[in-house]
Every structure is written in C-alpha cells, then in structure tokens.
Amino acid sequence: MTFIDTLFGTPISAGLSGVALFAIGLLVKQNRGRRWVLSLSLLLYLRYIVWRALYTLPTDDLTSMIIGGTVYLAELYGLCQFSFFTYQSWSPLDRQPAPITRYPTVDIMVTVVNEPLSLLRQSLIGCLRQDYPRDRFTVYVLDDGHRLEAKTLAAELGCGYLTRPDSPRHAKAGNLNHALRMTDGELIAVFDVDHVPARPFLKETVGFFDDPNVAIVQTPHHFYNPDIFQRNLRVGSQVMNEQALFFRSLQAGRDTHNSAFFAGSGGLLRRKPLEDIGGFQTQTITEDIHTSMNLHAKGYTSCYLNRVLSAGLMPETFEGYLKQRKRWAMGCIQVLLRDNPLTKRGLTFAQRLDYFGSIFYFFFGLPRVICLVAPLASLLFHTPPLHADITLLTLHFFLFYIASALAMRPVTRGSRNPFWSDIYELAMCFALSAVALKALAAPRKERAFEVTPKGQRVKKNTSAELTLAWPHLVTFGLLIGGLVLGIQDLRHGTGDAGLPVSLFWGTANLILLTIAMFVASEQPQGRQAFRLNRDFVGELFMDGSSTPVRILNINESGAALSIEHPVFTAQHTVKLLLTSSQGTIVRLSGRLMRQERTPSGDVIAGVQFIELDDPTTEVIVDKMFGDPASWEKSYRIQPGIADSVRSLLHALASPWKSFTWEQRRMPRVAYETSCRLRTPTVSLAGTLEDMSFTGVRVRVPSIPSESLAGSQLVLPLVTLKVSPVSMTRRHLKTCIHFTVESIERGEHHWRALHNTEWKRA
C-alpha cells in the first residue's frame, strides 16, 4: 500500500479527518479560533478534491472522461471559491468611527431615474437631517428621468436639482460625472434613491478623511425589507439577508488588505482622487468596483466602517433580483476582460487577489448547472460522472461539507446561514450562466445599464414566474424522471457501477432545486410600502382614554403597536402620540385595522394613518431612519452547532412555508351564547360560537344564503348589523361567518364583553 493510499483510503485517514471535524465543532461551540476553523475546513476540502482526482475520475471511454472531467472542473471551481472566501475572511478589520477634527464640505448626491417619488422624498429627508453643520453640506437630486415632479420636490425640501441636458450616457456613472462638474464640495456622498442615511452618517464617516490619502469610506448596505428568499420562502428573520455575507464579513476582511471598495451607495469619496482618474469609470456597467480599483491602483486607500448607517430596499421580485445580479455579473466580467486586476499596474498582490476573487465569484452559474445535472449522465444514459464507493464518498465529501457548514456562521459573524448558499446560487445559476457566456462571447460589446426596479407592489403573475423559472422546472422534471429510471435499474441490477452515488446525488439536488424554485413564486404584497422594524414608546388615545404602547414597525401609512390588552372603538379611529427626535409631541390620526394576540399574551394592533401633513410625515421618516442603533441588533448573533442545524431545518421546511394562508384581520375568541338572527324574511334562534371586533360565527338551522342580506344579530344587551361571508353545514345545522358592519344597540356592552373574553382567553 502506497503512502497516498494510506493518506486517502484507510481507517487512519478517516480517523484524522474525524479529529479535524471534531476540532472544528469544538471551536465553533466555543466561538473562537476562526483561523483554525478556516484552515481545517480548507484542508478537508483540499483533501476531498485530491481524492477525487486520484481515485474517482472515470476512464472507461472518451464520453465518460469528458463528462467526469467537466464535473471535476466544476468542483475545482468550488475549491477556488472557498479559498478566496478563506483569504478574505482570515482577519477582518473592525474599525471604529474616526473623530472629526475639521468639517470639510460635502455634496450629498441622490441618483434617481424613474423610481417612485415617495422613495426620493424619504432619502432627501434623511440626507437633510444629518448631525453635521448645516452650512457644510448640500443635498442634490441627480435626475436622469427629467421629471418636473422631482424638480418640484427638490425645491420644496430645499435641495439642489441637477439633470443632464443631453441624452443620458453611461447611466449612473455619467449622471455622477455630470454632477461632479457642477459642484465643488471636498467630499462626495452617494446614495441610491431607495437608500436613506441615518442622522449620524456624516458624523461617523467624515473623520477618516483627516488622512489625506483616504479616497473612499464605505458603510454596509442594510435592507429594511425582506429579500426574495426571506419573503417568498416565508423564513423572515430566521435567515439573514442574502447580501449580509458580503457587507458584514467580506468587506471587513478586504479592508485589512486595503481593498474594500465603494459599493455604489452609502459611501463617501474624496473629490480630488476622483478627478485624478477621470471621475467615475464609464468603461463598464459596474462603475463602483471599477472606480474603486482605479483609485487603489493610483495608491489611494479606502476605509470600511462596518456599522449600519443607512437603510435601503432589496428588489421586491425575483425578476428584479435577477436583473440586478445579471448587471453585476456582466459588469464584473467586463472589468476582467477590459481592465484585468491580475495584470493592472499599481495594485498590491493582496488587492489583485481580492478584486479577482470578487469577479471570479460571478462565474459560479456554469459550475452550479454542471453539478446540478451531473447525476443525469448516470440516471438517464448509464455514464457515471465519477467512480466511487459510496462509503468513501460519504467519508470525504460530507466531512468537508459539514465542516464548511459548521464554520459558516462563526466565520461570517452570523451573516450567512449554513446550507443556504446552495439555495441562493441554484436560484440564480441558469440566468448567470447565460450572462457569463454572453460576456465571454462578445467582450467588447457595449451593454445597456438596466436600473433595478424598487418600490414595486408585488402581485401574483404566474406567467412571468414560469418565464423566469422554466430552466429550473425542466431540470426538475429531468431529475424526477432520472430518479424513477435509476430506481428501476437498481431494482433490476441493470444500472452502472456509479448508480447508487448518482441516486443519492440526484435526490439531494432535487431537494435543493425544489427550494430554489419556490423563490420564483411571488408572495403578493398587500402594502404599497414596507414598514421598518422599530422599537420605541408611544401612547394611544381613543374614546377619551389612553393606553401606553410600543411601536414595533412603522412607515408613513401606518404602524404596528404592542399593547397589553385589546382595545375597541365603534369607529375604529385613534390618536397615536409620538415624540420626535427634537423632543416635541406629534399626534397622528389613524384607524384601527387589526388586532391579534401573541403567544406571550400581548396584543398586536395595526393602525392606518389618515390626513397627515408634510411636517408630520417628515417626523415619521426621521423616526423610521434617523436612529440606526436597533439595526445593529439584528446582526448580534451567537452562532453555534445548534444554530447550524436550525438553518438546515429552515431550508427544508421553506417550500411548505411559502404557501399563503389566509388570516383574519381580527382573530376570534370562543364565546358561546344564545342569539337571534333576523333577516328580511325570517327570524331564527341560534347560538353565537365565537367573535372578534369585526366578525362573528353563528350556528342556526338551515337557511338559504340569498335571504341573509340586511341581517341583524340580536344578543343579550347588544344588536349588530351583519353581512354574511361564508356558510358551512355541520351536524344538521348551518354555521355562518358574518362581518360586523355596525352596532345598532349596546356599544358599551359589546366593548366590555370583548375586553372580558380577551382577558379570559
């Protein structure tokens, strides 16, 4: 037996790998030793790849060699990608805000094309309310949409308005370059129209520019709406935002190498270095990373402040998400082909690796597709992509896979959930494969800059979903068919030697693909605008009494409140009192729209605001975005092995969660009492079974549904005007769900009855 055989195929080898995995698990549990965790995980990955090359590549014929070699190269890509991840995660820099010794002038530029003016208004209010001397910064609207409404809004708020007289060329980069020529501030702060800066943004970032060599200061992108994975799979905050890994972990690691780059929004740049390189770069459609690379090549430095100081919107639809990622992929590949960081003069070795690693990532589509369909070679055509004993494959593959999954949460400081990277990449792999091939086929062709749609109201559109997900559906069908045929071959003993491996591999791919497909199934969005999760106190006034509340989330249209017990008013109108950041009391008029009990026994009430003037709206926007403290709490996660297991369970359960279930606006409590249902034609004795503030369920003898219009429900001391919603038959009786339209008699008793029964429940 050779040394290589001893290293890769004996119990000694298995024992050493088991020790490495145990060490990783122990370090993860204790939340320490990030470099050891990374090193051991990379070592197990490298061991698997070497074993694959030495023992599993098929050599039966030319076809099997081509298929096996292609699959192996796809897996080798994964090792390279994990190596870049290890390098960028090795030693993240954790900066603190630099003190301000002087106050340079700042031009705050908000770029807009045709996005909703409500988003622009929010962003401008956030820009104008900076904790920075008011005479030292100017806010500009950079409008490539040439809209009179945008110009009027800028004038109303006291902002500058800049638009290009000629046809807009070079998209966002051209828009910014035009503004550079029209302004003179020492520093340039850039925000997309959907990104709203918090009050301390300038105060905590400007101090870094005391170093005259600093050209870029970037902050993380924080998103207040769920991404398409969180929303369409209904996993919410159980899974971190898909972009959190880059902004909360990798950028901090790049900062150690002086290669953190401007991310297009939420960053500051010094004017003079920008002018030295000719402004924002227009040769590619990703002006942010290309501009940063040229600044670094000129010898300038960058700083990354890993602190949330602004909040923005993720694309609300799968179509918008793919449009954004395809633009990023195309732009990064353009950078590689036109201004390769590996050969660019002026970059350090570390910067070359970091920039190339960021570009290299966007080639993942092709390897993902190859690994996704690889089992079909064996299942459909009896040509296995690898020859391996299933025990040895389990030993080598799963040891590194489990190790990397365990390492993910602590190494990324909670910003990436284990097992979810596979789902993210499977959802994008077909679209990004096409983009990569298109870019490589025509590297010099000019590509249009497609603006990512934001501020959309999502509606169900099955035809659009099928158009986007058809490659996934076709692959899903092929995997199903392949697995059926493979099981039959296994039962009859007619399959190839690699059939058991391909069956397992195909099953795992089918599970992941199923989850990824549900990402394209849009969950309708009821609200026009998302609410921000907040936590501050307020007071609710109604019917001459007040109740203390906590505001859980809020936007300009409404808020969710936490109260100790349910409240009731016949008109559903309330006054919500808030304290502004300046300490003044603001009264908001609203309607009580829903109430529901939480497992802790408290009540969540929904309020819709009515008749708000502009100053009041500005106060609400400031309450929404002004204080960034609570945003940081969402990233304070203590990762561990149990958390990794929960992440896997969330992934497996997500397709089931993605189905929409109808919920009542006012959950009902059980309350049984005799009643009488009066219709225009009959009067029936019945039994009230449950009730809410807005609806009831009544059991009566059989009655035609057409005779229920204009009904009254008479209870002890209370008379309600009701309208039917649905009817069901049960035990020779009819159960009717009614909506309460108004209270004809006994409003006080109706309110007291509800409050009593809610407390009992």
**Catalytic residue positions, numbered:** 144, 288
Helix, strand, coil percentages (3-state) for the chain, rounded to 5, are 45, 20, 35
End-to-end CA distance of the chain: 73
- Give dist(CA 432, CA 158) in Å, integer: 42
How far is the C-alpha of 562 from the C-alpha of 605, rounded, in Å? 6
What is the SS3 assignment for 631-691? HHHCCCCCCCHHHHHHHHHHHHHHHHHCCCCCCCCCCCEEEEEEEEEECCCCEEEEEEEEE
Q: How far apart, in whole angstroms, are the C-alpha atoms of residue 518 and residue 531?
A: 24
Q: Which helix (H) or strand (E) holds 616?
A: helix 614-625
Select from 472, 145, 514, 447 the least CA-distant residue to 286: 447
Taking Cα atoms as reference points, which of 498, 577, 519, 567 lies closest to residue 325?
Answer: 519
Count of C-beta atoms within a 10 Å radius of residue 337? 14
In three-state secondary structure terms, 306 is coil
| CB contact burial 658-670 (16+ within 10 A = b; e otherwise) | beeeeeeebbbbe
What is the DSSP secondary-structure string of 345-400? TT--HHHHHHHHHHHHHTTTHHHHHHHHHTHHHHHHHS--S----HHHHIIIIIHH
Cα separation of 745 and 720, whole Å?
7
Residues in Cβ contact with 165 at an 8 Å cutoff, skipping those fewer than 6 apart:
none
**Distance in angstroms (rounded) separating the CA atoms of residues 378 and 498:** 7
HEC per residue, 63-119: HHHHHHHHHHHHHHHHHHHHHHHHHHHCCCCCCCCCCCCCCCCEEEEEEECCCCHHH
DSSP 530: P
CA–CA distance, 675 with 688 (Å, rounded to integer): 6
User: Which residues, 6 or more positions from 209, have their beta carbon under 8 angstroms from its beta carbon?
Assistant: 104, 186, 187, 217, 268, 270
Instruction: Return the exposure string of 159-169: e unless at least 16 CB atoms fall within 10 Å of the residue's CB, then b.
Output: bbebbbeeebe
Residue 142 near residue 175, CB atoms below 8 Å = yes
Bridge pairing between strands 669-678 and 683-691? antiparallel
